Amino acid sequence: MDAEELREHGHRMVDFISDYYKEIESYPVRSQVQPGYLRNLIPDSAPDMPESFESILEDIRHKIIPGVTHWQSPKYFAYYPSNSSTAGFLGEMLSAGFNIVGFSWVTSPAATELEVIVLDWLAKVLKLPEQFLSTGKGGGVIQGTASEAMLVALLAARDKALRRVGQNLLENLVVYGSDQTHSALIKACKIAGINPMNCRLLQATFMTNYALSPEVASESISNDIAAGLLPIFLCATVGTTSSTAVDPLAALGRLAKANDMWFHIDAAYAGSACICPEYRHYIDGVEEADSFNMNPHKWLLTNFDCSTLWVKDSSNLIQSLSTNPEFLRNKASEEDLVVDYKDWQIPLGRRFRSLKLWMVLRMYGVANLQNHIRTHINLAKHFEELIATDTRFEIIVPRVFALVCFALKPMPNGQDDASKLNLKLLEAVNNSGAMFLTHTVLSGRFVLRFVVGAPLTEERHVNTAWKVLQDHANLILGTV
């Protein structure tokens, strides 16, 4: 493909994507296909000869799009958002066009240096402590996901502890979080060789709005120390997956420091809200952390994947993750003049992801990004108000950011329990294609989750979603 063919096909692809966004409301939000649908639509072997670009686009229209769940739909209210933007898309396009593999500074100096700068930019927007900036011993790095960020932090914590007490005590290491912590913590323990029995998922209850109690954590840590075990890692969350609970960072950070533990903060979803001054207090206590993570690809208009991780002392990552084979040696690295991000992550290779974050920050500006967050939170407040108008529904936990946890109340006659009722409602609205919700379980109760985060969502979409929920509730409850 020469430059002119690229220009032609590129324009057509941009047109295709633009048309997709214009039409996105017409699609069922959650794909309605059955498992294995694509096997019957696509040949079982690759073509010997080239096929036309137009025929490929036709297959995308008629074979791929039916199997797509439309995360950018304004009627998407499931999981957490993974919102995109024109700025993020253009940055992603440029990154794909350059197609560099920026594992070390010398492979593309701009890729490393822009990442250092843009992570400092974002740290300053969040008002993170100066120790997280590249001007000191710390700095930021873009990981693929919060799961990778958590694993990297845990590996650094593990090796830091083992250097202190000896490599033969791996079986004694203990990791802590709440039972609301993302499942990535368990997976990270498995990969890091931490005994699964030593991953303490401490119960968080309705009494604390599902935040981790420092008293519960302190008791567990004390018991483990008394048993001859070694606490090494405490994970706190700002915006848990189930209910957006916020753990008390300052108290947990002091507890970690008192016991010589690594303190990691997972703010994958809600960290974006903390660019707004009125929500910054949710990360008060971040000064106690050794590492802090948030995902601009969730709620900050930066296309997936872009998960930002800051550490106070990058040498802990480097000591744990660095490799330096002869074929990677170069003068700038040998003289310690540059950052080599290969030593801050699991894989060697890495994409030029800072381009899209840089373009988002520049093309929107902080003020418009703050308005983006506030708009979604106000829409969630509006949905909360709508629920209050129907006595058949109830709010399960207080809303914190843009997630509303709610449910149908049990039927007075006990004909059907609340979990079955809400499961029926969930399946009905998702099968309709009119919207997409997900659920969780809190204190044994089946709960529906409604999260606002798609860039195109407006109040009319929230109103329509509420009507869909009410209409299906009427059918399930046998009322009109």
Residues 6+ apart with CB under 8 A from 165: 230
Q: Is the pLDDT of residue 212 over 70?
A: yes
In percent, the amount of the chain with pLDDT more than 90 equals 82
Q: Is 454 left (phi over 0), alpha (psi -120 to 50) or beta?
A: beta
Q: What is the pLDDT of residue 273?
A: 97
d(CA 129, CA 276): 16
Task: Supply the pLDDT for residue 335.
Answer: 80
3-70 and 93-361 in the same fold: no
Q: Which residue, among 314, 286, 214, 220, has the nearest Cα to 255 in the 3D structure?
A: 214
| pLDDT, mean of residues 170-186 | 94
Comparison of pLDDT for 176 and 7, the residue scoring more:
176
The CA–CA distances, whole Å, from 369 to 39, 198, 301 equal 42, 40, 8
DSSP 62: I
CATH fold for the domain made of 3-70: dopa decarboxylase, N-terminal domain (1.20.1340)
The answer to whether residue 480 scores a pLDDT higher than 60 is no
DSSP line for 145-185 = SHHHHHHHHHHHHHHHHHHHH-GGGGGGEEEEEETTS-THH
Question: How many CB atoms sit inside 10 A of residue 245's CB?
Answer: 24
What mean pLDDT is predicted for residues 100-112? 89
Element (H, E) at 293: strand 291-294
Closest CA to 282 of 265, 259, 299, 298: 265
Per-residue pLDDT tens digits for 356-365: 999 999 999 9
pLDDT of residue 332 exceeding 90, the answer is: no
Place of tokens 């507890």: 255
Task: Give the pLDDT of residue 447.
Answer: 95
Q: For the chain, what are the domain ranges?
A: 3-70, 93-361
Q: Is the pLDDT of residue 415 over 60?
A: no
Written as six digits, the tokens of 410 are 């049990």
**Residue 185 is which amino acid?**
L
Q: Rounded CA gap, 130 and 133, in Å?
A: 5
Q: Cβ distance 324 to 98 under 8 Å? A: no
The whole model's pTM is what?
Answer: 0.93
Among the CATH numbers 2.70.50.60, 3.90.1420.10, 3.40.640.10, 3.20.20.70, which is that of 93-361?
3.40.640.10
